[in-house]
Amino acid sequence: MKPKILRNIRRGFGKRALSTGKITAGAMRLAARGLVGAKGETDARIGEAMAQELDQMKGMAMKVGQILSYFDGVLPPETHAALQKLQQGSIPVEFETMRAVIEESFGASLDGLFDEFDPDPVASASIGQVYRAVFNKKPVAVKVQYPGVAETIDSNFAKIGKIASIASLVSAVDGKAIAQEMRERIGEECNYLNEAVHQDAFADAFEEDADVHIPLSIRERTTRDVITTEWCSGRDFYTYAHEADQEHRNRSAMVLARFAHTSLFGLGTLNADPHPGNYLFPEDGPVIFLDFGCVHRFDPEYIENERNLARVVLEDRRSDFEDVVIPTGIVADYEKFDFDTHWRMMCHQYEPYRSDTFKFTFDYIKRGTEFSGPGNPNGRIMAIPPEWIWITRLQWGLSAVLARLGAEGAFRPILLKALDMSLEPLIEQS
């Protein structure tokens, strides 16, 4: 049987609605079986069906599937395993469609742009497809944006904006502000010129770190719809997690944690998409970090407020907690806000850094998700700032990745060192 190839991504309202219906039905069936304790082969089949639909839709739909794929404990394990293929994609858009994007972007034929170009993609991501090529006699990676993907994202956010408006009526959350923030960041992600700037800035910032490698962009072959970078080889995350011994996995986990916390507290900038498909692990050498499209730049004052909060939680200073929580903007109603519950939530979030050693497990992730349930009395009275979305995505995304590695070690010194860094913004707010 020939592998499935798309002529284009699903853009029509009817087709996307049909796919959304299939995904929703699958998720509801998974939830229903979870309530009665059933699981197994059917979960895998539903996961496969969900992955196929999301893969064909690309864009925001595929991005949501990628997030679900590594947050173990949210869906059954068999479903997570099926969704993992979304991190590299498995249903490519046909080459002639993508070739047209490249040639239109540069106003030249593909044969004249690269020495060699392999038409078989090495990855089919949420917004673009990645190919291997040769430029100036050097191997390169070429990511090409799906035609029309920006329009599908705009369409999705139009619907999200309406839902967010309703959410604002029944809670203290400014749903419109959060939706707008996400729209801006993901809108930036659709402009590969921005990604090139981000990627090179991170590469420069971590140039002296022997454990981190970030491939540089090649500006002569980069446009809004195409980004070319140096080619890097290494084991993908799941192969590495399966093959590497505990010592190597622990060492890599330390690198991932250091990169994340240094980025936040030292550079005031996050690469806010920490899913496993964005890492490569060579046999010998540094961890390779890929994909800098979704980057958030924080206001220095917000970073300092988060820094103060982290220090209080790490030092177990409950008496100072209210004073450092309020400036973060999450307390909408002081009289009704349950600070004790929020203290327990933050202690759990920072648990890996509150003790001398810690082992990341799926149970730790699952217990963290319980704070998002109806049992949290602050659920409807937290005024979640847009910035909080990205920090939470990083912290829990990182924890989920480290749990996949079964990482164990002394993570506390990594965060303490990052908290002591002077803030030197990587990319100034525009």
* Residue 166 pLDDT > 50: no
Residue at 332 is within a domain: yes
> Residues 373-396: what's their mean pLDDT?
81
- What integer pLDDT is reported at residue 430 of this predicted model? 43
> Residues 193-213: what's their mean pLDDT?
96
- What integer pLDDT is reported at residue 127 of this predicted model? 84
| CB-based contacts of 354, cutoff 8 Å, min separation 6 | 313, 314, 316, 347, 412
Judge if 323 and 372 occupy the same domain: yes
- What integer pLDDT is reported at residue 1 of this predicted model? 43
Judge if 268 and 306 occupy the same domain: yes
Lowest mean pLDDT among 44-48, 68-72, 74-78: 68-72
Judge if 305 and 407 occupy the same domain: yes
Q: Identify the sign of the CA torsion 110, 113, 116, 117.
A: negative
Judge if 81 and 103 occupy the same domain: no
* Residue 414 pLDDT > 60: yes
Number of domains observed in the structure of the chain: 4
Q: What is the DSSP letter of 426?
A: S
Residue at 81 is within a domain: yes
CA quadruple 112, 113, 118, 122: dihedral, nearest 10: -170
Judge if 308 and 273 occupy the same domain: yes
Q: What is the DSSP letter of 76?
A: -
- What integer pLDDT is reported at residue 15 of this predicted model? 46
> Residues 224-250: what's their mean pLDDT?
96
3-class secondary-structure state, position 154: helix
* Residue 250 pLDDT > 80: yes
- What integer pLDDT is reported at residue 85 of this predicted model? 55
Residue at 199 is within a domain: no
- What integer pLDDT is reported at residue 387 of this predicted model? 83
Judge if 76 and 34 occupy the same domain: yes
> Residues 22-36: what's their mean pLDDT?
43
- What integer pLDDT is reported at residue 26 of this predicted model? 47
Last residue of a domain, one of 69, 87, 105: 87
379 vs 55 pLDDT, higher one = 379
pTM of the full structure: 0.77
CATH classification at residue 220: 3.30.200
Judge if 323 and 423 occupy the same domain: yes
Lowest mean pLDDT among 52-66, 121-135, 223-237: 52-66
Residue at 204 is within a domain: no
Judge if 225 and 274 occupy the same domain: no
3-class secondary-structure state, position 6: strand
- What integer pLDDT is reported at residue 120 of this predicted model? 95
Which residue's structure tokens are 């046999």? 283
pLDDT-derived band at 389, boundaries 50, 70, 90: confident
- What integer pLDDT is reported at residue 42 of this predicted model? 57
Judge if 341 and 402 occupy the same domain: yes
Q: Give the tens place of pLDDT for each residue, 76-116.
A: 555 555 555 555 555 788 999 999 999 999 999 999 999 99
Judge if 389 and 265 occupy the same domain: yes
- What integer pLDDT is reported at residue 22 of this predicted model? 46
- What integer pLDDT is reported at residue 178 of this predicted model? 55
Q: Are 276 and 291 in contact (CB under 8 A)?
A: no
User: Which range, 154-163, 229-238, 366-375, is most confident?
Assistant: 229-238
Residue at 3 is within a domain: no
- What integer pLDDT is reported at residue 275 of this predicted model? 76
Q: What percentage of the chain exceeds 70 in pLDDT?
A: 69
> Residues 305-312: what's their mean pLDDT?
97
Residues spanned by the domain of 420 = 234-430
Judge if 118 and 166 occupy the same domain: no
C-alpha angle 414/419/422, rounded to 5°? 120
Nearest to 416 by CA among 360, 352, 347: 352
The torsion region of residue 311 among left (phi > 0), alpha (psi -120 to 50) and beta comes to: alpha
Last residue of a domain, one of 35, 60, 87: 87
Residue at 200 is within a domain: no
* Residue 325 pLDDT > 60: yes
* Residue 260 pLDDT > 70: yes
Last residue of a domain, one of 87, 105, 137: 87
Phi then psi for 62, rounded to 5 degrees? -65, -35
Residue at 2 is within a domain: no
The mean pLDDT of the chain is: 80
Judge if 222 and 257 occupy the same domain: no
Q: Give the tens place of pLDDT for each residue, 336-360.
A: 999 999 999 999 999 999 999 999 9
- What integer pLDDT is reported at residue 384 of this predicted model? 77
Residue at 201 is within a domain: no
* Residue 176 pLDDT > 60: no
> Residues 2-12: what's their mean pLDDT?
53
> Residues 313-322: what's their mean pLDDT?
98
pLDDT-derived band at 125, boundaries 50, 70, 90: confident
The 3 state secondary structure assigned to 263-329 is HHHHHCEEECCCCHHHEEECCCCCEEECCCCCEEECCHHHHHHHHHHHHHHHCCCHHHHHHHHHHHC
- What integer pLDDT is reported at residue 323 of this predicted model? 97
